[in-house]
Amino acid sequence: MSIHPTAVIHESAKIGKGVEIGPFCQIGKDVTIGDGCKIFSHAYIGERTVLGESVEVHMQVVVGHEPQDLTWAREPSSCEIGAHTVLREFSTVHRASRPGGMTQIGQRCLLMVGSHVAHDCEVGDGVVLANHCSLAGHVKVGDGAFLSANSLVHQFCRVGRFVMLGGAAVAVQDIPSFMLSTGDRAVIRGVNVIGLRRAGFSADIRRAIQDAHRLLFRGKKTIPEATELLFQSKVPEILELANFIADSARGVATGVSMASFTSQDQDLPQ
């Protein structure tokens, strides 16, 4: 264990083995820091925050501070960061605003410079939030999603598994799993083919998802009608997609036709 003498650590904090805490860090009440974590200089870890094993918290990061919610009545809440997640400079994660609630970041995530996760969010495993990406309160992000630089997600929206959200996109409705979405307001451009390939999805599964995309967003059926047809599939990923859409409270983002693609669009299904 290596703790710089200028670090301020509350007496109730629990610090694991092999933890490194740099200069001028502040560790709050009832914080738990797992084995092998690295806390770089000037980082702030708020009360009731839990860091899993080998988390990296870089310079000027704020984790587990008070929620930016005018309805918060200062009830106890918490924040949890999964093992091997990296929080880069100036990123922020606020604890929940609901009594006893928790803001959760999964394992092996990367929050790049200036990214923000608001109160009561749930972020899955292996998620990347690129520079200055912001999630409003109560957002849910599925495993393996990639949210590009300067993208924004409206409160209570959901971003499905292995979604690619493009740079500066503004998502005001749910983005279904496996899709590629861009724009203000964000629309469904196609399937995240490259992301699925990198994640090990077979060619057959990728084709099935592309067929589902065409049915949902380029056919003549309404989204509810197309979703009912998807429920007839025996492919788990298609059933996952159908359930995601059926469970949507805010509605899902609309699709666009091939005619609206520009020559700059790449890796979209033909």
Query: Of 28, 116, 120, 126, which residue is the catalytic one?
Result: 120
Q: Are 253 and 188 a contacting pair, CB within 8 Å?
A: yes
pLDDT in tens, 187-229: 999 999 999 999 999 999 999 999 999 999 999 999 999 999 9
Q: What does the alpha-carbon distance between residue 59 and residue 251 come to, in Å, rounded to a whole number? A: 38
Q: Are 72 and 66 a contacting pair, CB within 8 Å?
A: yes
Domain boundaries, the chain: 2-199
Query: Of 106, 124, 137, 195, which residue is the catalytic one?
Result: 137
Between residues 267 and 34, the one the model is more confident about? 34
- Is 58 annotated in the active site? no
CA distances from residue 158 to 17, 137, 155, 253 in whole angstroms, order as listed: 36, 11, 9, 11
- Is 247 annotated in the active site? no
Q: What does the alpha-carbon distance between residue 84 and residue 43 come to, in Å, rounded to a whole number? A: 17
Q: Find the mean pLDDT for residues 57-76.
A: 97
Would the pLDDT of 258 be above 70?
A: no
- Is 137 annotated in the active site? yes
Query: Of 65, 84, 119, 213, which residue is the catalytic one?
Result: 119
- Within a 10 A sphere around the Cβ of 266, how many other Cβ atoms? 7
Residues paired with 3 in a beta bridge = 21
pLDDT in tens, 5-59: 999 999 999 999 999 999 999 999 999 999 999 999 999 999 999 999 999 999 9
Return the C-alpha torsion angle 95, 98, 99, 101, nearest 10.
Answer: -60
Would residue 227 be called left, alpha or beta, if left means φ above 0 and alpha means ψ between -120 and 50 degrees? alpha
> How many Å is the Cα radius of gyration of the chain?
20
Task: Give the amino acid at 185.
Answer: R
Nearest Cα to Cα of residue 27 among 38, 43, 16: 43
Fold of 2-199: UDP N-Acetylglucosamine Acyltransferase; domain 1 (2.160.10)
The DSSP-derived string for 130-169 is -TT-EE-TT-EE-TT-EE-TT-EE-TT-EE-TT-EEPTT-
pTM score, whole prediction:
0.94
Task: Give the amino acid at 135.
Answer: L
